[in-house]
Structure 1
Amino acid sequence: MTMSNKTPVGEVRPSQLLWTYGPGALIDLPSLSVVTLGIDRWEQDRCQPIQEARLLAAVRKVLGAQVENLRMPPFQKSELFDVWSAEANIGVPVRPFPRWMRCVKCGLLSPFDAGLFDIKENRYRPERTRFVHTGCRGSKGDQPPKDADAVPARFLLACRDGHLDDFPWHYFVHGGNSTCKGTLRFFESGASLQTENLWVKCDACEASRSMAHAFGKAGKENLPACRGRHPHLDHFEKECDEEARAVLLGATNSWFPITLSALAIPQKNISPLHQIIIDYWDDFSDVEDVSELKGTLKALKKRGEAQGIEKHEPKAVWAAIEAHRKGEGQEDVGEADIKGPEWEVLTEANPPTDYPHFMSKKVGTPKGFSRHICRVLLLERLREVNALLGFTRVEAPEESGDPDERPQMASLSRGKPDWVPANQVHGEGIFIQFDEQTLVTWEALPAVALVDKMLQGGHKGWRNSRHLDPSEGYPGIRYAMLHTLSHLLIRELALECGYNAASIRERIYADTSGESSQAGILIYTAAADSDGTLGGLVDLGKPENLGRLLEQALNRSKVCSSDPLCSEHDPEDDRSLHAAACHACSLVAETSCERGNRYLDRSLLVPTLERADAAFFKGL
């Protein structure tokens, strides 16, 4: 990360720029806080493209046809010895935010660009770059001048439309707009750091106010309207009707990413060579003859990409390029279509075993589960590509199949983006397909219909409270059951295989609206490092291991340490999106779950203290 004057201020992992610290997000460093600038400020040439035609088509459905490609965030390829070299300036541009700093010694509150604070750069330890209050004379002004550290003022304003602004210190202290331009000071009045013990005072008119007045009902009266500010774009929108509310620096609700992900899979009835041509069409589209093709193949080999193409002669590759040109014009896919082609590949009679990004192996079903499970597929190799579309603040993006219903997605750039940040991870996984007839019989049970009605009631209340259409977005009781089982298995697998629990993810296939109903779960590793490519997860998918793990997971979930409260929970009572599920039994890391720990109920799997008739695995 570098500031606009090319001062390095710290490091983050490339994947964090998608999930935690993307454009518009605040990065709370040890000595200062910065905001990641919009992608129109990033050095696009330093961002390597990622090829994934299906995901790119889905991104275009949401953001527009002008999106040309998916690109990885920039990163330095090696440890640098010369910190003053051009290579050292490769990074993501950031800017100090909030602008207001506080002197830790005298409590002086002022914007960092008002001339009272100086920046102390540290090229060799970028994370130690900091601001100082030059010539500070202490809180009473009676000490000899000495430099004191300045830290960011930890209060900001945010709204549900994705705007973020400095806290209006002068407005807040003076009870509205005032002509007083006195120096402000921040001080503590008690032993604890509760908001009522934090005060701001004006030196000139001696007006003061406790920070407790910035929150809750008092905050509505004491804070100004939202100015529509996007600090990552240097832009103020003309008007914003949303209420501006005070948030703390570092609060988790200040930035929620909106992402799309897809697995790299071969298309049906296409040869492995033709699939590689499709995947890397950006590289092959400009090739005019065989001699030029040889140079392209050499470049791809050097980059370690297009694996498997070396098995084919250049003439055969050229013929595949020509064939693809004649049959060009692939259909676009929407967000809802992303999982459809994946399901078709996963349920094929003979799934592909030679596609470099998707290598599978069929195994038997676990003993005792043959009535419920009809197929287990070990994915010895898979690739997931994620793309960042935008973000929201204050409230997480609601789950909805309709992109128009998403809450005010803030843009990553000033105009319409012509590329979006993305990353890819290689891993392994286990796919479990469930017997359709057994599922249909289970869905017809009166007890299951009762749970379905209860979850739908919670769903409607939850969406009504957020001013969303209550009849939209409910995934169905089949989804809730498969989702809960997926969570129980993730928890069990993490204990057994030794992988970090947060690096195991899920994909639920439960769409019943198409020609053929889906009923399956894919549990896979998706960490950007070596975690997830060591074979530990695939080994646990073998019948003898998977059967044992399923039994352990189901037995463990019969009684939760929070029972009877957990099993008695009714989502209709508190407008929530889960029934018998809590942190002690069913919830997993937010990075693992595709639905933010929503639509869960373990009574759909096993008998609980509250309900015994709705269990899918009853009598095992």
Structure 2
Amino acid sequence: MSGDRTPVGQVRPSQLLWTYGPGALIDLPNLSVVTLGIDRWEKSRCQPIDEARLLAAVRRVLGPQVETLRIPPFTREENVERFSAESLIGVPVRPFPRWLRCVKCGLLSEYDLGLFECKEHFKPERTRFVHKDCTGSKGDQKAKDADAVPARFLLACREGHLDDFPWHYFVHSGPSSCTGTLRFFESGASLQTENLWVKCDECGASRNMAHAFGKAGKDNLPSCRGRHPHMDEYADGCDEQPRAVLLGATNSWFPITLSALAIPVTIGSARDIVDALWDDFEDVEDKAELKGTLKALKKREAIPGLDDFTLDEIWDAITEKQNGTAEASVDSADIKGPEWKVLTNPNPPTDWPHFLSKSVSAPKQFEKPIKSVLLLERLREVNALLGFTRVEAPEEGGVGDDTAARADLGKGVPDWIPASEVHGEGIFIRFDEAEIAAWEKKDSVKARDAMLYAGHRGWRIARGLDPDENYPGVRYAMLHTLSHLLIRELALECGYNAASIRERIYADTSESDNQAGILIYTAAADSDGTLGGLVDLGNPDNLGRLISQALQRGQICSSDPLCSEHSPEKDRSLHAAACHACSFVAETSCELGNRFIDRALIIPTLDVTDAAFFAGGAT
């Protein structure tokens, strides 16, 4: 990380995608900084990643001008000489918030006023701000430098804006001509907001920080100024009510990402073909000309998958792109459809070193519900950062259906976006479609489906969204729950920590080939992640034992009967019989933020015994 070419700290490249991307705050040991927009990054230092399917999906969201996916810049060597060219590789940052507080006298002031000074150190993590010649809280001590730390309060809104806390406005209960010095102090032993105060030295006005939160905050805080500190600009008008957030709070930055597995196919839809070969299709005027163009492309084998689509499908995709009417969203079929075709292929192709698989038989005790098992000895996942939200996360994972507005990564229209790749291994389990379909027809399953759907509608209505959209269905909820139970079980034996295991659920029924499968895989960033521990557990004997153990653990939760009796319809939530004690996993592992989970769909519970897919229980 660097600010004005001065290194101030280090983070891992993958963290710039998931935790500390553009617009996010990085709370370093002695100061806090904001990562600047990608228009300020050194593009030449960012290595491109080749993944055609993901790039095509990104273009449908951000526009056709996006040329490449690129890895954030990083130093390849751990010990580099200070002030060398290698040591200055990083992403640009800037101190934020601009308000600092002296730890001795409590002085609260903006850094720009010159009362605080930045002290550089040859160890970047020890760079800090100091209050020059501080005399202490009583003013009778010998003057000396005192540490200054960032003010711990900020303003954020659902439109993605972030601003300094309005200290003068807050302490004076609105606009005021008083420009007195502010002090921040504590009145009790604990650090609860009720014990934190800000006071004006000149007029004596003071305010408790508890008045900045909750309902009181709406009356005591000004309107949003539309500030984007990572772009050094203010938006023209913002109607959202800003709210106070703490520095380091998780709700100050949520990434919006797309991910795809690097599989031995590059085309998932006609739109992908048009995006990939747009230079050839851009000037095509009619179907007759398109027919000749396609013939030439097939002859030179320009791209695989051309024979999978009709002339009309490709022409429709070209027309949409030329007219600008192509959908600016990406659904599951765009990304997961081609993956499903490869994973369910009787003889999956090999693409060394990114994709290597081996088919094994299903566990004997689960031969009826499980159709096939595929061990992925090597796989690669590519993730792309499209933007971010603040205050509220894009909880349903939909790029085009966020609960808060997607903020841009930088000024202008991006021609590249940050991405990362992870290498790992995985287990793909395909379930028998006939078994799934028969289970879905049960009245008890339909009742659980209705309960989950009611919770889904209530959740979306509370956020002003269309209540009838984006419900994944009871099939997805069942597969999702089983995936979570297996992740928790696998983490105990595979050698990876639970946060390094991820899932991909295949449950799309919109196409002729209904999907019913789960992929559990490792995603160890910045390393190969192929120790073999996970694949070994996919062998029939091990997998059967682990599924049985997962079902047994899921039958009774330590929070029962409250957990098993939970109704999403009553509290407008997106899960039924599920909680952290039995089936929730790390947010980095779940593709939908621990939503649409219900143990009753997997195994008989204390409250519901007739809706379980594994009706016989653990064997």
TM over 0.5: yes
- Unpaired runs of 5+ residues, structure 1, are 271-277, 286-319
Name the CA distance, whole Å, in 2 between partners of 1:550 and 1:372.
12
CA distance in 2 between counterparts of 1:37 and 1:466 reads 30
Please list, as runs of the form range in 1=range in 2, the aligned pairs for 1:17-416 lying within 5 A after superposition: 17-123=16-122, 125-267=123-265, 323-325=300-302, 334-336=330-332, 337-399=334-396, 401=398, 403=400, 407-416=404-413
Question: Counterparts in 2 of 1:218-617, with a 5 A limit?
Answer: 218-267=216-265, 323-325=300-302, 334-336=330-332, 337-399=334-396, 401=398, 403=400, 407-530=404-527, 532-617=529-614
One-letter code of the match for 2:39? D
Tell me if structure 2 keeps the 8 A contact 1:506–1:523.
yes
Quick one: distance in 2 between partners of 1:10 and 1:221?
Answer: 38
For the 8 Å contact 1:268–1:345, the answer to whether it is kept is no
Percent identity of equivalent pairs: 73
1: CA distance, partners of 2:17 / 2:151: 26
2:304, 2:453 → 1: CA distance? 46
Give, as a single letter, the amino acid of the residue that structure 1 aligns with 2:102.
Answer: C
TM-aligned CA deviation for residue 323 of structure 1: 2.7
SS at match of 1:487: helix
- Structure 2 stretches of 5 or more lacking a match? 281-296, 318-328
2:479 alignment partner, SS class: helix
By how many angstroms is 1:400 displaced?
Answer: 6.1
Q: How far did residue 529 of structure 1 move? A: 4.0
Q: 1:554 to 1:531 in 2, by over 3 A?
A: farther
The separation in 2 between residues aligned to 1:85 and 1:361, in whole angstroms, is: 47
State the one-letter code of the partner of 1:2.
Answer: S
Q: Which whole-Å deviations, capped at 9, do the CAs of 1:11-49 have from their partners, x for residues lacking one?
A: 000000000000000000111000000000000000000
Counterparts of 2:212 and 2:404, CA distance in 1:
25
Structure 1 counterpart SS, 2:485: helix
One-letter amino acid of the structure 2 residue matched with residue 323 of structure 1: R
Following TM superposition, by how much is the alpha carbon of 1:398 offset from its aligned partner in structure 2, in angstroms? 3.8
Tell me the secondary structure at the aligned position of residue 380 of structure 2. Answer: strand
Q: Deviations over 1:354-413 (max 9, x none)?
A: 543111101001011111000000001100000000000000014265715553100001
Name 1:298's counterpart in structure 2: none
Are the equivalent residues in 2 in contact too, given 1:137–1:145 (CA < 8 A)? yes
AA partner of residue 57 (structure 1): A
Asked whether the 8 Å contact 1:400–1:406 carries over to 2, the reply is no
Q: What code does the residue aligned with 1:517 have?
A: N
Residue aligned with 1:338, SS: helix
TM-aligned CA distance change 1:476 to 1:618, over 3 Å: same
* 1:292 matched residue in structure 2: none
Is the contact between residue 405 and residue 468 of structure 1 (CA under 8 Å) also seen in structure 2? no
* Alignment correspondent of 2:284: none
Cα distance between partner residues in 2 of 1:364 and 1:400? 33
8 A Cα contact 1:499 1:532, kept in partner:
no
In structure 2, the CA distance between the partners of 1:102 and 1:48, relative to structure 1 (3 Å rule), is same
On the 8 A contact 2:488/2:498 being kept in 1, the answer is: yes
Superposed displacement of residue 263, structure 1: 0.3
**Counterparts of 2:304 and 2:571 in 1: how far apart (Å)?**
54
**Aligned position for 1:274:** none
Deviation at 1:321, TM superposition (A): 12
CA positional deviation for 1:88? 1.1
Q: Distance in 1 between matches of 2:390 and 2:232?
A: 17
- 1:263 partner amino acid: L
Please say if residues 366 and 547 of structure 1, whose CA atoms lie closer than 8 Å, have aligned partners that are also in contact.
Answer: yes
Contact 2:102 2:147 in 1 (8 A): yes
Call closer, same or farther: CA 1:402–1:422 in 2, change over 3 Å: closer
- The residue type equivalent to 2:300 in the other structure is A
Between stretches 470-479 and 406-415, larger displacement belongs to 406-415
Equivalent AA in structure 2 for residue 73 of structure 1: P
Report the Cα offset of residue 532 of structure 1. Answer: 2.8
SS of the counterpart of 1:345? helix
Residue in structure 2 matched with residue 2 of structure 1 by the alignment: 2
Check conservation: 2:14, 2:526, Cα contact below 8 A: no
Given the superposition, is the C-alpha separation of residues 23 and 321 from structure 1 closer, same or farther in structure 2, using an over 3 Å criterion? farther
Distance 1:405 1:246, change over 3 A: closer
Moved more, 260-269 or 550-559: 260-269
Aligned partner of residue 497 in structure 1, secondary structure = coil
Q: CA deviation at 1:191?
A: 1.4
Match for residue 288 of structure 1? none
What secondary structure does 1:598 align onto? coil
Residue 102 of structure 1 contacts residue 110 of structure 1 at CA under 8 Å; is this kept in 2? yes
Cα shift at 1:416: 1.2
1 CA distance for matches of 2:304 and 2:566? 56
Distance 1:607 1:256, change over 3 A: same
Q: CA deviation at 1:334?
A: 4.1
Q: Partner letter of residue 164 of structure 1?
A: L
Aligned counterpart, 1:300: none
8 A Cα contact 2:266 2:304, kept in partner: no
Separation in structure 1 between the aligned mates of residue 261 and residue 489 of structure 2, nearest angstrom = 24
Distance of 2:580 and 2:177 partners within structure 1: 52
Whether the 8 Å CA contact 1:61–1:335 is kept in 2: the answer is no
Distance 1:269 1:71 in 2: 21
* Separation of aligned partners in 2, 1:326 and 1:544: 41
How far apart, in 1, do the equivalents of 2:553 and 2:197 lie? Answer: 50
- CA displacement, residues 495-518 of structure 1 (integer Å, 9 cap, x when unaligned): 011211100000000000112100
Q: Deviations over 1:296-316 (max 9, x none)?
A: xxxxxxxxxxxxxxxxxxxxx
Distance 1:49 1:151, change over 3 A: same
Aligned Cα RMSD in Å?
2.2
For residues 388 and 487 of structure 1, the distance between their equivalents in structure 2, rounded to whole angstroms, comes to: 25
Structure 2 counterpart SS, 1:534: coil
Cα distance, 1:224–1:453 mapped onto 2, change above 3 Å = same
Question: Take 2:305 and 2:65, find their aligned partners in 1: how far apart are those partners?
Answer: 19
